[in-house]
């Protein structure tokens, strides 16, 4: 196991968490929308700047529940990106829809709006774009296309907690876009509830409906409206969220310092491409991807991966293989249909990034990359 892994969970001081969970040992109310859950819901609405929100057991179930909200035509097609974690496409398939993959933009690895319309058919019901590494999609262009064709937009915002985008002079939180936006609060994310997630909605009515859907479809003690799973967040997870939320701005600031260290040292390395920073976006520095051009750098992506390992640094290839190249998808899809995404997947390396990574360690990692083989 490398000494420094690709990420490390953010956690509060033990005493802070103990204090947060103490009341649970009195009340014995430890799940099913308890006090911590309700408090976290309110605090997240305010932090994320969204109208309504429903917490879930994880980010994946947030996606699945969101796909149940609008009674979209069953077996309809949903346009999405192959450059994502399998959860995105799994949620689409498991909800009875068909993923249709469109290519991404090289500059930020998000769904390319210019590649969406050519994928729209009479069966298309929605677009599920993914904000990648904390980079927001071109929300304006995507939502214009959706409006023109009468499609829903459900964002996978798993990577975008706390990100803000400037639109027409106004800063808007990542969860406020589209019809719905889904977050992951997994241990490896910028903000975690150990496991957890949320669906951000436009109205309380929608959030209330997600509350029913995440609880077996139970409306009240005698009425069950839907055949739906159990996808609720428990009180210990919510308590972790309340603690982590107090520190998340400091954590993002520490991540920024790691980001700045990497960028300074890696900015002119031949054959190593960094994604540009954007003036209209306040990033969360969720990941630090680099893209390796073997010919120019003199070492392949996998060669650099190995070299970092030898120095005790654990990089990861998020996202490789491309979803469409995975065993469970490759019979029906072909990665070559999305060449930009295929190239990104074949050259990406996400190097260690987390709040507690010291800028000194970040510099050591970057210098291994500068030196190369």
* C-alpha–C-alpha distance, residues 148 and 252, integer Å: 37
* C-alpha–C-alpha distance, residues 359 and 263, integer Å: 11
Q: Which of 88, 58, 53 is nearest to 199 (CA)?
A: 53
Residues 275-314 that bind ligand T4K (CB under 6 A): 314
Q: Does 232 bind ligand T4K (CB under 6 A)?
A: no
Q: Does 187 bind ligand T4K (CB under 6 A)?
A: yes
Among 164, 186, 211, 232, which residue interacts with ligand T4K (rule: CB under 6 A)?
186
List the beta bridge partners of residue 126. 78, 152
Q: Which of 78, 73, 67, 85 is nearest to 229 (CA)?
A: 67
Q: Does 317 bind ligand T4K (CB under 6 A)?
A: no
Cα–chain-centroid distance for residue 24?
30
Q: Does 58 bind ligand T4K (CB under 6 A)?
A: yes
Q: How far is the CB of 323 from ligand T4K (least distance, A)?
A: 10
* C-alpha–C-alpha distance, residues 120 and 52, integer Å: 30
Among 60, 209, 214, 273, which residue interacts with ligand T4K (rule: CB under 6 A)?
60
Among 158, 238, 252, 362, which residue interacts with ligand T4K (rule: CB under 6 A)?
158
* C-alpha–C-alpha distance, residues 105 and 118, integer Å: 15
Q: Does 134 bind ligand T4K (CB under 6 A)?
A: no
Among 41, 66, 110, 188, which residue interacts with ligand T4K (rule: CB under 6 A)?
188
Q: Which of 180, 230, 231 is nearest to 69 (CA)?
A: 180
Among 24, 33, 55, 130, which residue interacts with ligand T4K (rule: CB under 6 A)?
130
Among 12, 99, 113, 197, which residue interacts with ligand T4K (rule: CB under 6 A)?
197
Q: Does 6 bind ligand T4K (CB under 6 A)?
A: yes
Q: How far is the CB of 170 from ligand T4K (least distance, A)?
A: 26
Q: Does 347 bind ligand T4K (CB under 6 A)?
A: no
Among 297, 318, 320, 329, which residue interacts with ligand T4K (rule: CB under 6 A)?
318
Q: Which of 198, 238, 197, 213 is nearest to 21 (CA)?
A: 238
Q: Does 184 bind ligand T4K (CB under 6 A)?
A: yes
Residues 69-108 that bind ligand T4K (CB under 6 A): 84-85, 87-88
Q: Name which of 130 and 136 has its Cβ closer to ligand T4K.
A: 130
Q: Name which of 145 and 323 has its Cβ closer to ligand T4K.
A: 323
Q: Which of 92, 99, 138, 136 is nearest to 119 (CA)?
A: 99
Among 156, 179, 212, 251, which residue interacts with ligand T4K (rule: CB under 6 A)?
156
> What's the Rg (C-alpha) of the chain?
21
Phi, psi of 8 (to 5 degrees): -150, 125
Neighbour-count burial for 205-244, b at 16+ CB within 10 Å, e otherwise: ebbebbbbbbbeebeeeeeeeeebbebbbbbbbbbbbbbb
Q: How far is the CB of 110 from ligand T4K (least distance, A)?
A: 11
* C-alpha–C-alpha distance, residues 114 and 213, integer Å: 34
Residues at the contact surface with ligand T4K, assessed by CB under 6 A: 5-9, 58-60, 84-85, 87-88, 130, 156, 158-159, 184, 186-188, 197, 314, 318
């Amino acid at each position: 196991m490398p000494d420094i892994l690709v990420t490390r969970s953010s956690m509060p001081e033990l005493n802070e968490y103990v204090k947060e969970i103490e009341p649970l040992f009195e009340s014995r109310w430890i799940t099913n929308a308890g006090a911590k859950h309700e408090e976290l819901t309110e605090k997240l609405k305010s932090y994320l700047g969204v109208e309504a929100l429903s917490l879930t057991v994880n980010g994946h179930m947030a996606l699945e529940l969101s796909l149940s909200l609008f009674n979209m035509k069953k077996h309809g097609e949903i346009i999405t990106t192959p450059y994502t974690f399998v959860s995105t496409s799994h949620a689409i398939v498991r909800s009875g829809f068909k993923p249709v993959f469109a290519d991404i933009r090289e500059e930020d690895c998000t769904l390319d709006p210019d590649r969406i319309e050519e994928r729209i058919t009479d069966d298309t019901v929605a677009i599920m774009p993914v904000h990648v590494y904390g980079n927001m999609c071109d929300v304006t262009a995507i939502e214009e296309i959706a409006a023109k064709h009468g499609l829903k937009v459900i964002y996978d915002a798993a990577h975008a907690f706390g990100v803000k985008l400037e639109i027409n002079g106004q800063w808007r939180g990542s969860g406020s876009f589209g019809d719905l936006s889904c977050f992951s609060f997994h241990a490896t994310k910028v903000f975690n509830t150990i496991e957890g997630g949320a669906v951000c909605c436009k109205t309380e009515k929608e959030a209330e409906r997600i509350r029913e859907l995440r609880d077996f479809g139970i409306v009240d003690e005698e009425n069950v409206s839907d055949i739906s799973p159990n996808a609720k967040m428990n009180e210990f997870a919510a308590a972790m969220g309340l603690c982590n939320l107090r520190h998340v701005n400091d954590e993002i600031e520490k991540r920024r310092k790691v980001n700045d260290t990497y960028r300074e040292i890696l900015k002119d390395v031949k054959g190593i491409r960094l994604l540009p920073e954007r003036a209209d976006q306040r990033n969360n520095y969720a990941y630090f991807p680099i893209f390796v051009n073997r010919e120019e750098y003199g070492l392949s992506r996998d060669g650099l991966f190995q070299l970092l390992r030898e120095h005790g640094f654990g990089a990861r290839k998020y996202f490789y293989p491309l979803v469409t190249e995975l065993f469970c998808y490759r019979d029906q899809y072909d990665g070559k249909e999305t060449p930009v995404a295929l190239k990104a997947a074949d050259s990406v390396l996400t190097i260690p990034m987390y709040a507690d990574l010291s800028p000194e360690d970040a510099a050591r990692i970057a210098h291994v990359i500068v030196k190369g083989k």
